Structure 1
Amino acid sequence: MATSEKNLSEYNKETIPNGADFKIGIVVSTWNEKITSNLLLGAQQTLLDNGVNEHDITIEYVPGAFELPLACQLMLDTNKFDGVIAIGVVIQGETKHFDFVCAGTTHGLMDVMLKHSKPIAFCVLTDENEQQSIDRSGGIHGNKGIECADACLNMIAFKKKY
């Protein structure tokens, strides 16, 4: 695996847009909360480090990853947000439930993003086991929350150009 020894969350702060004028929603699944809380910390700190004001970040919680699309849609329906970060974790089990939740969540978030023409950063880990999720939420592979905050800021800036 190409990422086996790499921290994927390193970024050049000078290339990220300043988010001082951005309003960002974050929706966090409470399922696998030990992991999603670390993803949230990474995302939130990255937004703050790159100029987003604390009062311009709204955090909401939902039970699981499957609820993320509706929550993101409801937030974007208010027209108060420039973008949203969707945070969740789905870990492979012994049934096809994993496949259905991953596909439904992914397609649902894409549909909402395209409907609103606003970015939704996909911070949903879809791992084979809990250790892989831990490794990607502040462990040896960095924190996907950082990467998604970076993506959200860049896509908001991109949208504002058009």
Structure 2
Amino acid sequence: MATAFKNLSDFSSTEIPSASGLKFGIVVSEWNSKVTGALLEGAISILKKYGAAETDIAVHSVPGTFELSTAAQLLLESADFDAIICLGCVVQGETRHFDFICDAVSHGITNVALKYNKPVIFGVLTTDNMQQAIERSGGKHGNKGDEAAVTAIKMADLAKKLKK
């Protein structure tokens, strides 16, 4: 979580395994595309930095953050991915819509991960305003897409080790 004391893209104190040979699916929301596009760039950059081949990264867009869970499930049903990264951005508005979407997406992503026994990563920004989203998608607090990709690599590596 990004705070004044922690940057989402600071991985200097953690060991990150190789992503070589691992297959990643990324589903990204088209809603708030300025932010989600930056999250996607960060995620792809990190996956490649740690050895994932471009051919082992499949990116699919969905209309909004609510659709991320369904898309993650469809990807896991269609191919043998080692991890799925879900990228979205929900900004607080004047109604309770924010609460319903955030709750549904967090539960949906968790349920897909448990149903398919595969890492499905929550790379969704849930912010009070657009400025906070920008600061967490490549701004002063780093990039949640970077964090989601590192999490996907680590979880895919853990799953691979435990299957041996």
The interval holding the TM-score normalised by the smaller chain is: over 0.9
Q: Give the counterpart letter for 1:69 in structure 2.
A: S
Corresponding residue for residue 70 of structure 2: 70
Q: Distance in 2 between matches of 1:77 and 1:37?
A: 25
Q: 1:16 to 1:5 in 2, by over 3 A?
A: closer
Cα deviation, residue 12, structure 1: 3.3
Aligned residue pairs: how many?
Answer: 161
Q: Is the 8 A contact 1:5 1:141 kept in 2?
A: no
TM-score, normalising length: structure 2: 0.94
Residue 120 of structure 1 deviates from its aligned partner by 1.0
Q: Deviations over 1:102-140 (max 9, x none)?
A: 000000000000001110111100000000000000000
Aligned to 1:28: 28
Q: Which stretches of structure 1, 4 residues or more, deviate above 3 A after TM superposition?
A: none
- Output the TM-score relative to the length of structure 1: 0.95
Residue ranges of structure 1 left out of the alignment (5+ in a row): none
Structure 1 residue aligned with 2:56: 56
**Residue matched to 2:131:** 131
Q: What's the counterpart of residue 118 of structure 2?
A: 118
Give the deviation of 1:10 after TM superposition. 1.2
Q: What is the 5 A alignment of 1:1-162? A: 3-4=3-4, 6-12=6-12, 15-162=15-162
User: In the alignment, residue 158 of structure 1 is paired with which amino acid?
Assistant: L
What SS does the aligned partner of 2:99 have? helix
Percent identity, aligned pairs only? 50
Question: CA distance change for structure 1 residues 33 and 56 in 2, over 3 Å: closer, same or farther?
Answer: same
Kindly state the Cα deviation for residue 3 of structure 1 after the two structures are TM-superposed. Answer: 1.3
What 5-or-longer segments of structure 2 have no aligned partner? none
| 3-state SS in 1 of match to 2:104 | helix
